[in-house]
Structures are given as C-alpha cells and as structure tokens.
Amino acid sequence: MTDRRTIVFFPEGAFGPTNNCVGIGNVLRARGHRVVFIVEESFAGRLAAQGFEERLMRLGPPPEVPEVPGQFWIDFIRDTAPVFRKPTIEQLGEFIAPTWTALCDGARYVELRLRAIFDEVRPDVIVEDNVVGFAAVVTAGRPWVRIVSCNPAEVKDTAIPPFSSGYPTTDQAGWPAFLDEVRLTHGELWSGFDAFMREQGAPGLTNGPLGPEFIHESPFLNLVLYPEEADYVRETSLGPTWHRLGSCVRSTPDAWHLPASLAPGASDRDGALLYLSLGSLGSADVALMQRLVDVLGRTHHRVIVSKGPLADQLRLPDNMAGEAFLPQPAIIPQVDLVITHGGNNTVTEALHHGKPMVILPLFWDQVDNAQRLDETGFGARLPAYGVDAGGLTGAIDRLLADRPLRARLAALSARLKANPGTLRAADLIERLARTGNPVTG
C-alpha cells in the first residue's frame, strides 16, 4: 500500500473500550495501515495475539507482590459493592469521585511514557477511548480522535440528565441537587487536574454549570457510540467534528456452539434462550450472581452465563451452561434476550443484533444506559440488589411477549448492520490520517 499510515489506538484498560477499538483497528489493518495499541501491562499479549503491535505502559507503580490476573476486580467488588446499593447521589463522594481521582492520577503517572511512545512510533493519528484526558495526546502535535464509548450523557447538555445519575429525562427535579453534589465532591480534584494539563502545555479544561470536564473535545474528530433511536434529544447540537457510530461490533474468530443440553427439545425446558452477563466486575459479586442464577434456574428458560473471574464458586442448574469468559459477539446473535449490567459495549451489541434487555445497573454510565433503555422501551431497568424473583421473571416474560418491540428492534438491527460503525469509524479516521484536517460533514 503506497498510502500506508500509522494509527495508534489508546483505549481505557477495560474490555469494552478495547474491544471497540479492536473492531475499528481490524478494518484499518485490513486496508494496509500500521495499527499500534497502547495498552496496560495487564493486557500484554492480548492485542499482539490478534496481530497488532503493542506498546506497554502502566498507570501506576508496579505492585510489591506479583499481580494475580483478575484479582484487582475481585478485591474491588468486595470492597465497593455496598456502595452500589445506595442512591447515585450518594455514590458521588464514596465511589465516583475516588474513581476519577484514580484516573487522573494514572494520567499524571503515564505522561512521560506516552510522550516516549509517540516520539518512537510517530503516528499519523492518535485515537483515544478514555473518559479522562491525557496531556501527551493533546500536545503530541498529531491529529487525534476522541471516542465516547460510554453513555452519551458523558457529553453534557442541559436537556440530558447528569452523567452517572441514572435520572429520567422527564423529571428534572433532582438534577440541581445532583450537580451541586458533583461540584462539592469533584471541585478540588478538577482544579488540580486542570492545573496539571496547563503545566504540560495542554489547553485548560472547562467547568461550567453542568459540571467539570476531565477530557478535551478533539478539534479534529469526535465519535460517539450509540444508536440514534436510543439517544437523547439535545438542547444544543454537537459540533461539526462529532460523528455517530450507531454500534461498533467487532467480528470474532471465536465460534460458539450451543451446548447440546440447551438445544431446543433436549429437556423439558422449552422457554427462550437467555444470556446473563454482569461484566468482569459485576460477575465478581458471587452472591449477586448466584441469586440471579437461582431465580433463573426455577424458570422454563435456558440460560447462557458469563460466570466471570470467580467461575468456580458459581453453581449452575441444569438449564444453564457457562464459562468464566465467553465470546460475547458470537453468543448475542443466538439468544432471545440479554440480562446485563448495562455496560455500553453490551448494550450497543445487543441493539446491533436486535435483542431486548433486562438491565441491572451497578454504577457509572450503567445507570444512565438502564434508564434510557427503559425510557425508550428497548429494555427494562431493575435494581441489581433489590429485584425479587417476580420482578425479574416478569420483566423477562413481558419483553419476550412484546411483538411491537420485536419489530422495532429488528428494524434498528437491520439499519445498524447496513452501516457498520467499524467501517464508518475507519473511514473517518483514515480521512483524518490523510489530510490532517478536522473531519466535518
């Protein structure tokens, strides 16, 4: 390829953003471009095994004892799960602000390493999918792309509920108090991070009536990952460098075949085929997962379970099959309904394949996704720790019986598949790499 470009992806160290970037990266690599991933050391080898170049970094000092894969999340959910039972306004000081603090500390720690990587790789474009900004990206002298793979409420607007509130769009009564608490719990943190950005030569961050920003809008290209049918109606339209990816589902080489025990007619369980996944974090709460499994085990449905890092502690009845980790993109097309924590990746994948959802949110944008899907009718929001057996099974049966919903989802799925977000993103990034000019229109 005579017009080969070097494109660096820098996703947050979580499976959702990383998998989205992999989907786009696969398209660009197939077109002959050099694709490099900047990943945390805990991800070492994962992207290389898929044929990408890797550059490793850390967001904090190495531990004094060797890291056990998955142990961080196991410890995290053990210590944090009680906070997820509280109203979102109470989570701001106990969970959300500490999480932002850790993210900002990581951005400070990795600054010099990022600069060294960019100097060595010399990218034509840098693509980042993070919720916190990195001065090295903004000051690299290279065009850069911001991907928003959280709920669109991350990009603030007066007509959209505050990010991570999970509040309805139709009732703004609680919005002012939530934003007051955001300013109280995040103000000092934002001031310090804004000062750091300026010290590193980056533009300052904004802090307006809708709360503080911890990341810049790219002057070149911004991508938001959400289908229009489920998105909010904004008071102020996004600028010309903003483009929508309705979904961003990666292809997977991993085939997944339904176990014979769950095949139709294999047992007296003749119900729908369900997929249960609370993500790598939520599934580490074994008590929560076991309670859901036990409820679903008393139904006539068949269930595929993503068991998570403590898979050996989870007991599945005979109407279920599961593993610690499953190839989700290969499974969702086969099922009738998805039971999820509401992570953006799972939500957009389910919509891409036209599947209704029961959402049991825990934190962050999961509560926003749950509320928005409930409002638009694409799913049902239930309290993860408060739902009873009747509430869960009732929601499942109601969604499965909703024929108009099935038709809406089929139409949405057909539209998304006809215009894959991976191809659209690759086209836009490729255009930026070739011209170096803001991508508008």
The stretch 151-180 carries a mean pLDDT of 97
CB-CB contact of 126 with 144 (8 Å): yes
Give the N- to C-terminal CA distance of the chain in Å, as an integer: 27
pLDDT at position 16, please? Answer: 78
pLDDT at position 281, please? Answer: 80
Whether pLDDT at 323 is above 70: yes
Whether pLDDT at 81 is above 80: no
Of residues 263 and 365, more confidently modeled: 365
Whether pLDDT at 13 is above 60: yes
pLDDT at position 2, please? Answer: 61
Whether pLDDT at 1 is above 60: no
CB-CB contact of 166 with 89 (8 Å): no
pLDDT at position 68, please? Answer: 61
CATH 3.40.50.2000 residue ranges in the chain?
6-249+420-435, 260-418
Whether pLDDT at 178 is above 90: yes
Would you say the pTM of this structure is higher than 0.85?
yes
The model's confidence at residue 70, banded by pLDDT at 50, 70 and 90, is low
The model's confidence at residue 82, banded by pLDDT at 50, 70 and 90, is confident
The stretch 379-386 carries a mean pLDDT of 96
The model's confidence at residue 69, banded by pLDDT at 50, 70 and 90, is low
Distances (CA, A) of 58 to 71, 116, 131, 196, 205: 17, 13, 17, 19, 24
**Amino acid at the residue 264:** P
Whether pLDDT at 74 is above 70: no
CB-CB contact of 247 with 421 (8 Å): yes
What does the pLDDT look like over 189-198, one tens digit per residue? 999 999 999 9
Of 375, 372, 380, the C-alpha closest to 356 is 380
Whether pLDDT at 361 is above 70: yes
pLDDT at position 368, please? Answer: 98
Whether pLDDT at 416 is above 90: yes
The stretch 25-31 carries a mean pLDDT of 96
The model's confidence at residue 173, banded by pLDDT at 50, 70 and 90, is very high
Q: What class, spelled out in words, does domain 6-249+420-435 have in CATH? A: alpha beta
What does the pLDDT look like over 85-113, one tens digit per residue? 999 999 999 999 998 998 999 999 999 99
Whether pLDDT at 123 is above 70: yes
CB-CB contact of 106 with 14 (8 Å): no
pLDDT at position 64, please? Answer: 78
pLDDT at position 194, please? Answer: 98
C-alpha to C-alpha distance for 281 and 302, rounded to whole angstroms = 24
Of 417, 432, 275, 248, the C-alpha closest to 341 is 275
C-alpha to C-alpha distance for 429 and 409, rounded to whole angstroms = 29
Mean per-residue pLDDT over the chain, rounded: 93
Fold exhibited by the domain 260-418? Rossmann fold (3.40.50)
Whether pLDDT at 48 is above 70: yes
What does the pLDDT look like over 373-382, one tens digit per residue? 999 999 999 9
